[in-house]
Amino acid sequence: MSRVLLRGVRPYGEGEPVDVLVVDGTIAEVGAAPGTEADEVVAGGGAVLLPGFVDLHTHLREPGREDAETIRTGSAAAALGGYTTVFAMANTDPVADNAVVVEHVWRRGREVGLVDVHPVGAVTVGLGGERLAELGGMAASAAGVRVFSDDGRCVDDPLLMRRALEYTKAFGGVVAQHAEDPRLTAGAQAHEGPTAAKLGLAGWPAPAEESIVARDCLLAAHTGGSLHVCHVSTAGTADILRWWKARDAGGAVSAEVTPHHLLLTDERLATYDPVNKVNPPLRTDADAAALRQALAEGTVDCVATDHAPHADQHKDCEWSAASPGMLGLQTALGIVVRTMVRPGLLDWRGVARVMSERPARIAGLADQGRPIAAGEPANLVLVDPDDEWTVRAAELASIGSNSPYEGMRLPGRVLVTLLRGRITAHEGEVRF
């Protein structure tokens, strides 16, 4: 029997501190546990206890780009960021478009054992956008894939998207779309607007995202399938989702926003530092404000990191040659606290909702994003809400160091992460 006692913690940041006793991976007691024996006692000091975070959008880069990240280093970053589950995107090399690759990722995640790693299956063979991948085979594999995405590329063919929604519906899957009409973004380098014009960068217009989101919402309704919109980046997309959710026309539509789209804007591009290059691009102040509002009201369901590590040589180069993407796992909570909690847009219950409960439900996970109550699995994160820390990209667990937050002070520090009762991260140290 293993017993971990969290002493003096505040579930959801509410009420007086209580003790939480975890026995063999399950929450055994929430209340006063004076004198209780345990293998490990964590002094909570009134810190906020939340369900472990669930990231629907992580790039772990293994197999194929182990110079940017591995399942081991990415899992470490996740545990340190308060995550107990990540969904590993399919744009690896080879692409995760068949049962062999997804089972490999799933097994490797289990071996590392720091977070539950759920492989995302590709929608089309080789992300080629031409033929559906073996979705059923990946769903039936040991990895039990439920989330499918060509992320990095858009499933722009409407008939293929329709078929994917129909097919995944049969086994309760969801299609996560990287919404970008490629005809409108050929050669694009930055958000289309005054900043890009001034800097001489080819523009990525908002309707390239919005037109695909609108189309996919209609397809979800028509097919009764489940659509998840990746990295929503514009105010217009939030409007479309708001309209959709008020309409309740059948099917299911959910959406995520990244921490960087909540905080950063295209003003940052003035330095031409490729650390700010990401897809979809950083947009305007008005877009970021609309996204914060949409997340607060539930129009956008959840936060997903789009953690996208790159090897140094793909970022230490001129803007147009650089790869898009940013690190996100270890800074996500801090950005959410800074943009949502401190301004009063979300309370800690809200953080639990957008970082754990909603993403777990969207992906159909039974054992994550659960209430903090006796009998529930002990997938938990303990957060010091008042402490601040300074981001040092070189000190993050990822191999790539492409964090746009270098030197920034972020509020909210992860003290302890527990996966099924096992402490995976403790005061900034990973426990493999």
Ligand X SMILES: NC(=O)N[C@@H](CC(=O)O)C(=O)O
Interacting residues toward ligand X by CB under 6 A: 59, 91, 151-152, 178, 278-279, 306, 308, 324-325
Partner interacting with residue 228 (select from Zn ion, ligand X, none; CB below 5-8 Å by kind)? none
**Minimum distance from CB of 40 to ligand X (Å)?**
37
Give whichever of 256 and 306 is closer to Zn ion, judged by the CB atom: 306
| Extended strands (E) in 138-240 | 147-148, 174-177, 190-191, 203-204, 226-229
- Residues near 297 by beta carbon (within 8 Å), at least 6 away in sequence: none
Contact 167, 104 (CB under 8 A): no
Helix residue spans in 235-331 (DSSP H): 235-247, 259-263, 285-297
Give whichever of 223 and 258 is closer to ligand X, judged by the CB atom: 258
310 binds Zn ion (CB under 5 A): no
Residue 227 CB-half CA count within 13 A:
30
Residue 91, helix vs strand vs coil? coil
- Burial (CB count within 10 angstroms: exposed 0-12, middle 13-18, buried 19+), residue 31: exposed
Give whichever of 171 and 319 is closer to ligand X, judged by the CB atom: 319
Give whichever of 153 and 222 is closer to ligand X, judged by the CB atom: 153
Contact 4, 19 (CB under 8 A): no
**Minimum distance from CB of 178 to ligand X (Å)?**
5
156 binds Zn ion (CB under 5 A): no
Alpha carbon distance 138, 121 (integer Å): 7
**Minimum distance from CB of 129 to ligand X (Å)?**
14
| Extended strands (E) in 73-180 | 83-88, 116-119, 147-148, 174-177
- Burial (CB count within 10 angstroms: exposed 0-12, middle 13-18, buried 19+), residue 58: buried
Of the residues 116, 306, 316, 347, only one is catalytic, namely 306
Q: Which two tokens stand for residue 6?
A: 């969290």
178 binds Zn ion (CB under 5 A): yes
Quick one: which segment of 151-159, 252-260, 356-364, 412-420 binds Zn ion (CB under 5 A)?
A: 151-159
Active site residue 55: no
151 binds Zn ion (CB under 5 A): yes
Give whichever of 11 and 274 is closer to ligand X, judged by the CB atom: 274
**Minimum distance from CB of 104 to ligand X (Å)?**
18
Q: Give the residue closest to Zn ion by C-beta.
A: 178
370 binds Zn ion (CB under 5 A): no
Partner interacting with residue 91 (select from Zn ion, ligand X, none; CB below 5-8 Å by kind)? ligand X
**Minimum distance from CB of 75 to Zn ion (Å)?**
17
Q: Which two tokens stand for residue 41?
A: 């006692």
Catalytic positions are: 306
Binding residues vs Zn ion (CB under 5 A): 151, 178, 306
